[in-house]
Amino acid sequence: MTGADGEPHPDDPRWAVAGRVADAVRQRFPADVLAVAVHGPLAHGDDDGGGDGEVGLLVVTYRPGGGPSPATRRVDGVLVDLTVAGADDYLCQARVISSLWPLTADRYVSTRALHDPTGWLRTLRDEHLGRLARARPGEFSTAARRAWYRGSAAHARAARLAEWYETDQALLMLGEARLAAATVNGLLSRTYFRDPGDAVRRTGLAGADMTEVGAVLARQAAELTARGRPVDGTVDDLLAG
């Protein structure tokens, strides 16, 4: 929870745990750590996760391999997901428009600093936003096409599993197809999401059944074709990338 001004709520145990982990990282790796920040739902001022959500922590180091190792562990009942990245490597990631961009961009744009004496997190945000401003429409269409292939394959697999009465596996694959289709929507509209759940909710795919997901994928295929990036092609198209 956060207060009305968007600052950490003093009664939220996640912020207490985040602060303790940040302090411990700085004490144990003083020469390695450039910045520590919270990302994900907790970083948003209108977060409503209460005390039950996950703490996403980013530790930025001066050099790759420095600082602690990436880890996930419950600390005093709070799940902590610790991401560790070298500063230059993370900036490079922030400049890439990949098929997963709608699910990764929030980490570059929405962070809350726990330790950032040089203002590096602002540099990260500016680098990503600058990359978006320079991106050509075709880059997003290409990334969307790749995400579409992932969704189409998952949907086809889900349909086959349903025919074989492998219901549990079919539902898992349908979930993957929903998320991929949501990602395609995000790429085509240049919209990023907080997390996978946010992606399927905001695109109306959270409760979509097999037929509905198939119809969404078909519409997306038509839109990609209209944008000059058809999902079907020749051998020459395949080898040309």
Confidence of residue 88 (pLDDT cuts 50, 70, 90): very high
pLDDT, position 116: 98
- As a whole number, the mean pLDDT across the chain is 92
pLDDT, position 6: 41
What does 38-83 look like in DSSP terms, one character per residue?
Answer: EESGGGSTT---TTSS-EEEEEEESSTT-SSPPEEEEETTEEEEEE
**Mean predicted confidence (pLDDT) in 161-185:** 97
Q: Are strands 55-61 and 78-86 parallel, antiparallel or unpaired?
A: parallel
- CATH topology for the 13-134 domain: Beta Polymerase; domain 2 (3.30.460)
Query: Contact, 179 vs 216, CB < 8 A?
Result: no
Is the per-residue pLDDT at 115 higher than 90?
A: yes
Is the per-residue pLDDT at 83 higher than 60?
A: yes
Q: Is 43 or 46 the better-scoring residue by pLDDT?
A: 43
Is the per-residue pLDDT at 3 higher than 60?
A: no
pLDDT in tens, 216-225: 999 999 999 9
pLDDT, position 40: 86
Is the per-residue pLDDT at 136 higher than 90?
A: yes
pLDDT, position 176: 98
pTM of the model: 0.90
pLDDT, position 9: 56
Q: Is 3 or 72 the better-scoring residue by pLDDT?
A: 72
Helices (H) and strands (E) in the chain, counts: 9, 5
Rounded CA-CA distance 227/137 in Å is 9
CA distances from 178 to 155, 165, 226 (A): 8, 20, 22
List, as own/partner pairs, every contact residues 231-239 make where C-beta atoms lie below 8 angstroms and the sequence separation is at least 24, other chains included.
231/145, 231/148, 231/149, 231/152
Query: Contact, 133 vs 109, CB < 8 A?
Result: no
pLDDT, position 186: 98
Confidence of residue 45 (pLDDT cuts 50, 70, 90): low
Q: Is 157 or 236 the better-scoring residue by pLDDT?
A: 157
pLDDT in tens, 24-39: 999 999 999 999 999 9
Domain range list for the chain: 13-134, 137-239
pLDDT, position 240: 83
